[in-house]
Amino acid sequence: MTKNILLTALTILLSGSAFSQESTKKIWLSGNSRGIFNHDEITGENLENSVKKYQYGHTLLDLSANIQTNKNTFIRSTFRVRNEYGGFWGSAITFDLRELYLKGLIANSVRYQIGDIDYKLSPFTFYNNSEDIYENSLDIFNLYSDILHHDLFYSGNNTWRQQGLAADFSLSFREGIEELQFNMFSSRVNPAGGGQDDRILFGGNVTMVQSNAFTAGLNYINLYDIDGTSNSTTNYSNPVLTANYELREDFEDFSIELSGEAGTSKSINKRDSLETLELEDYFSYSKLTAKYKPFDLELSIAYRNVGPEFRSAGAQTRRLINKAQNGYFNQYSGGERPTGIWDIYNNASLYNTSGADLMYRMQVEKDLSNYYPQYNNIDPYGLATPNRKGFDVSLSRTDDQNRYSVTVDLGMLKEINGEEIEKKDIIKEYNSISAYTDINVNEFIAGFDRKLLVQLGYTQDQTLNNAESESTKSDLKSERITAGLTLGLSEELDFMAGYELFTAVGVDHVLDRNGTELSTSFARYETDLTENILGLGFKYKFNDKNDLQILWQDYTWSNTNYHSLETVQYDPFMIYQKEEKPDYGFQRISVAFTMKF
């Protein structure tokens, strides 16, 4: 019965598409589909009472109906059909309305979109920062992160998926300036209920385009509780106002660009029975970029100063929720399995969504959430990470003959104020260096017409402070090495191999926020972590939109000095509880087919 209903609906849509095409297409279908099967096996010690193997997979279809009702109105609806392997006669099929929005043009001047919207402003107001250790990933390990990003609407341009209203329009001028651009949006973050008010997120920007050489603008965003929509005795607001600019000059052999942003924030938590808690601070950011055209060389130098109490919920909300329990082989050796980079690459339950009632939409968090220091201790909340000042330098070159590209990044940051209430003079320094390159070896060999891509990467992050006492000293160092190979066996078939090594050793003193605006609790966090991933596989490309991958991966995790973020004790100092966690690993064989149409 279910299949008959689906086939009938598709027939109606296709028939409508055929009869509606007069001079222009009125209705058309597009979408994505995939089929994936995994055979996973966990390895390690003391697994007698644990599930050791897991076979699972699914096929799904995201079918989008695109309806152009007239030249000024467009409707898009995406319907997802998913069938888990092992279900027969429709017993494991689910149907979801994945996406629905309407957009159009009013009076040939105002563009609007209602329903699901993908939106961003600036890195300090509303911005979807990439997850930790996302950059510099190898081709062979991208399959699952690509699937995860597609499912969660992480479109690659740092937008957040929201449900609400967005509008924009512009005003053109004959002289003085070219254009004024206006953008605005509003979305409902939390509905009233359960003792809380309606919470909305709204904002926008105004940009003045003086010419190709100069633009400037204002950005505003606010996470706001509508007082009176419940019996709640608390009320929260977080207004952020910033100004940004770009100056560009193009010469014969080189070009330069100076850009920046600066602004203020307030975080106001009104409580009837208690004193109102209010934080206020500022930030400034500037970046100079120079390009030398004859050598395809680009150099950028950026400086930031983000105040300790700067709060911007839309920019500081993290993709990764590090306290979320693993939904995948979560129990082993009689306890909960620790999270590793395997989970960051594969596990959707660790990512920020609002739950089943608000599927595929992010949850803006008013507080700064906890994070694992070993994976990103430098800027866990992106450029808007509070209490940071210093420089970032980047040098890159892309060969004009497509032979190679190389990038080297250097970071030199430190705290503005010491965060420990009784030890304000203890300041942490955060230093980082990374280098990665893609080399098309075949472009260097005359007569070699097969693809041969080599990917190499290295990253080192280090946290140090100036404390003299061992009980308060921080010295945490993490390193990541990646090496990958893609060899074209034919025009359609590629062989892929990759290896990744991640290590983190040392100690840090981490602010234990526990979901509060202000925290004075510090905990000692130690780690001696080693993670390895080895992958081999084949990728067959039917065309630019369809491919089949067969992959094998082997992953190992070891931490002889594991400390959980979940529990805290006093002994006599506050420390994260040390736990004995046996080594574990995974082996996976995957077959995956993906198609876009």
| Residues forming a β-bridge with 511 | 522
Q: Is residue 427 part of a domain?
A: yes
Residue pair 246/293 in contact (Cβ under 8 Å)? The answer is no
> Residue 218: helix, strand or coil by DSSP?
strand
**pLDDT-based confidence at 298, cuts 50/70/90?**
very high
The pair of three-digit structure tokens given for residue 579, joined into one six-digit string? 């736990």
Mean pLDDT of the chain: 87
**pLDDT-based confidence at 309, cuts 50/70/90?**
very high
The pair of three-digit structure tokens given for residue 174, joined into one six-digit string? 């004959």
pLDDT in the model for residue 196: 82
Q: Is residue 43 part of a domain?
A: no
Q: Quick one: average pLDDT of 54-70?
A: 93
**pLDDT-based confidence at 514, cuts 50/70/90?**
low
Q: Is residue 77 part of a domain?
A: no
What is the b/e burial string over 257-287, where b = at least 16 CB atoms within 10 angstroms of the residue's CB? Answer: bebbbebebbbbbbeeeeeeeebebebbbeb
The pair of three-digit structure tokens given for residue 275, joined into one six-digit string? 């004193």
Q: Is residue 561 part of a domain?
A: yes
Q: How far is the C-alpha of 342 from the C-alpha of 328, rounded, in Å?
A: 11
Hey, CA dihedral for 10, 16, 19, 20, is it positive or negative? Answer: negative
> Residue 592: helix, strand or coil by DSSP?
strand
DSSP label at residue 417: S
Question: Closest by alpha carbon to 310, among 257, 232, 385?
Answer: 385
Q: Is residue 262 part of a domain?
A: yes
What is the b/e burial string over 432-446, where b = at least 16 CB atoms within 10 angstroms of the residue's CB? Answer: bebbbbbbbbbbeee
Cite the DSSP H helix spans in 152-239: none
138-190 pLDDT, tens per residue?
Answer: 889 989 888 989 998 987 789 999 999 999 999 999 888 999 999 999 999 88
Instruction: Give the number of domains in the chain.
Output: 1
Q: Is residue 47 part of a domain?
A: no
% of the chain residues with pLDDT over 70: 87
> Residue 133: helix, strand or coil by DSSP?
coil
Query: What is the extent of the structural domain holding 481?
Result: 109-596
> Residue 20: helix, strand or coil by DSSP?
helix
Residue 500 has pLDDT above 60, yes or no: yes
Alpha-carbon distances, residue 75 vs 18, 66, 337 (angstroms): 18, 6, 44
Q: Quick one: average pLDDT of 355-375?
A: 72
Better pLDDT: 516 or 508: 508
CATH number at residue 264: 2.40.170
- 88-102, 448-462, 478-492: least confidently modelled range: 88-102
Residue 490 has pLDDT above 70, yes or no: yes
Q: How far is the C-alpha of 177 from the C-alpha of 175, rounded, in Å?
A: 6
The pair of three-digit structure tokens given for residue 289, joined into one six-digit string? 């970029």
Highest mean pLDDT among 21-35, 243-257, 261-275, 314-328: 243-257
Residue 49 burial (CB < 10 Å; 0-12/13-18/19+)?
exposed
Q: Is residue 433 part of a domain?
A: yes
pLDDT in the model for residue 510: 80
Q: Quick one: average pLDDT of 222-231?
A: 88
